[in-house]
């Protein structure tokens, strides 16, 4: 299958050759689906489901794709749905992805479709809320599916719609998300040529699109260090081994890894501790201390180097104190990398949808996204969609994952249009 990676100038020329009839039909279908997208989103928002439990959401999605005449596969990675739209003409396969899961957050936004659902999450009763906007992603991709299905006779290729569970992470002791969907063979059964995805954000104004070529979002890994000492009375520390003192030195040592042992001119990195626990009272030196933290970086080679340095630092500092340290690193999401050639190729498509002045380069983001797994397999492009109303300051808007997170419904037409335009233009350029 031919993959077209060409210059922006040539791309713009090819896109301008897209038939006027197809362009008119595209706009008509986008207009017709706009209210449906809002309606779907409100329903999903009012009925959120946590990762690997998106049963209701998946059922609605699957029925919609089947009604559009697609080949539909369900139950992938627990609740994932994949729909295949066969174009009338030969060409590449374009993958479009939306994540479906909500978060254990109690909503504080006063909406007529506010979520009042609750659950017990890790022993705590909490609310469930689409505090990251995945409800909007599902609705926009359903809208894009309807638009593209309505243009089936114009499509030079196939479209692979991936509705993914558990982007926010799988429940304890379960696998999930993009990694599990790939593990269960979605790319073996349907190999796409490229993958496109978007994420709504309150940090950008409605109607705008943010992107970045190359490393865009950080890898996300967690670590746990257990320092083993020898318990003794606090008044006679020399008769035991103090793991608290060793742990304090380990924190200091690990905080020096990025500043002194990683080439940060290559890519930035972060190592942060989030919790330290050990001991029960003031005059007992405990036998162990546990520490947990997160690692973020933008280079896959640096990622492995940081892992090795944490292990060396922790074990050697502990040994110098007579203690022992054990390290467990839990690899999470790799770096989200936007393929540079694909990004340059598709930039005119984004500008066509939002306007040149509303498509801007974003700084690197230390948050993580498991779209990264797809982008390691095929050229990928992941962008951010502005979701804060024009009369509000994005800098003051509640961030994603906040109980006050709010997504402006007028942004959905831009997101739906972006997904469809990227698909149509990529296919047109690959002819």
What does the alpha-carbon distance between residue 229 and residue 325 come to, in Å, rounded to a whole number?
9
What does the alpha-carbon distance between residue 199 and residue 293 come to, in Å, rounded to a whole number?
26
Chain centre to alpha carbon of residue 72: 23
409 flagged as catalytic: yes
DSSP 5-43: ---HHHHHHHHHTS-HHHHHHHHHHHHHHHHHHHHHHHH
Active-site residue (options: 78, 154, 168, 333): 333
DSSP 119-167: EEETTEEEE-B-TTSHHHHHHHHHHHHHHHHTTGGG-EEEEEEEEES-T
DSSP-derived letter for residue 354 is H
Instruction: Give me the residues paired with residue 385 across strands.
Output: 200, 209
Tokens, residue 17: 């050759």
List the one residue out of 47, 99, 381 whose CA is nearest residue 214: 381
Active-site residue (options: 73, 331, 341, 409): 409
Do 143 and 36 meet the contact criterion of CB atoms below 8 Å apart?
yes
Q: For residue 203, how many C-alpha atoms fall within 13 Å in the half-sphere facing its CB?
A: 14
What does the alpha-carbon distance between residue 295 and residue 218 come to, in Å, rounded to a whole number?
9
Do 47 and 114 meet the contact criterion of CB atoms below 8 Å apart?
no
Q: Kindly list the catalytic residues.
A: 333, 409
């Amino acid at each position: 299958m031919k993959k077209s990676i060409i210059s922006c100038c040539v791309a713009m020329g090819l896109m301008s050759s897209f038939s006027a009839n197809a362009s008119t039909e595209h706009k008509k279908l986008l207009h017709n689906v706009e209210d449906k997208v809002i309606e779907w989103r409100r329903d999903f928002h009012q009925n959120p489901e946590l990762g690997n439990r998106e049963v209701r959401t998946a059922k609605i999605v699957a029925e919609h794709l089947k009604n559009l005449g697609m080949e539909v596969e369900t139950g992938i990675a627990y609740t994932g749905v994949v729909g295949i739209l066969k174009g009338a003409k030969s060409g590449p396969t374009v993958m479009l992805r939306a994540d479906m899961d909500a978060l254990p957050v109690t909503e504080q936004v006063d909406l007529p479709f506010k979520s009042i659902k609750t659950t017990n999450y890790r022993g705590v009763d909490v609310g469930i809320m689409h505090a990251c906007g995945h409800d909007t992603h599902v609705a926009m991709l359903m809208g894009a599916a309807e638009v593209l299905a309505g243009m089936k006779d114009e499509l030079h290729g196939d479209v692979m719609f991936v509705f993914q569970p558990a982007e926010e992470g799988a429940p304890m002791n379960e696998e999930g998300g993009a990694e599990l969907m790939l593990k269960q063979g979605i790319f073996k059964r349907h190999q796409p040529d490229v993958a496109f995805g978007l994420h709504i954000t309150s940090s950008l104004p409605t109607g705008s699109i943010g992107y970045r070529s190359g490393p865009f979002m950080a890898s996300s890994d967690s670590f746990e260090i257990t320092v083993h000492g020898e318990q003794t009375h606090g008044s006679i520390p020399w008769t035991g081994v103090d793991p608290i003192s060793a742990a304090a030195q380990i924190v200091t040592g690990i905080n020096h890894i990025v500043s002194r042992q990683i080439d940060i001119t290559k890519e930035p990195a972060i190592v942060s501790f989030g919790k330290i626990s050990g001991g029960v009272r003031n005059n007992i030196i405990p036998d162990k201390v546990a520490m947990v933290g997160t690692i973020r970086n933008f280079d896959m080679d640096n990622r492995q180097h940081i892992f090795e340095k944490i292990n060396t630092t922790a074990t050697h500092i502990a040994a110098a104190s007579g203690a022992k340290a054990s390290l467990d690193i839990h690899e999470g999401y790799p770096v989200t990398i936007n393929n540079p050639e694909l990004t340059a190729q598709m930039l005119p498509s984004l500008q066509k949808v939002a306007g040149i002045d509303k498509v801007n380069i974003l700084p690197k983001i230390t948050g993580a996204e498991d779209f990264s797994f797809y982008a390691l397999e095929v050229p990928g492009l992941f962008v951010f969609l502005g979701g804060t109303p024009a009369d509000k300051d994005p800098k003051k808007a509640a961030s994603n994952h906040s109980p006050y997170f709010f997504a402006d419904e007028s942004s959905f037409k831009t997101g739906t249009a972006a997904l469809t335009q990227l698909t149509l233009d990529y296919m047109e350029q690959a002819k």
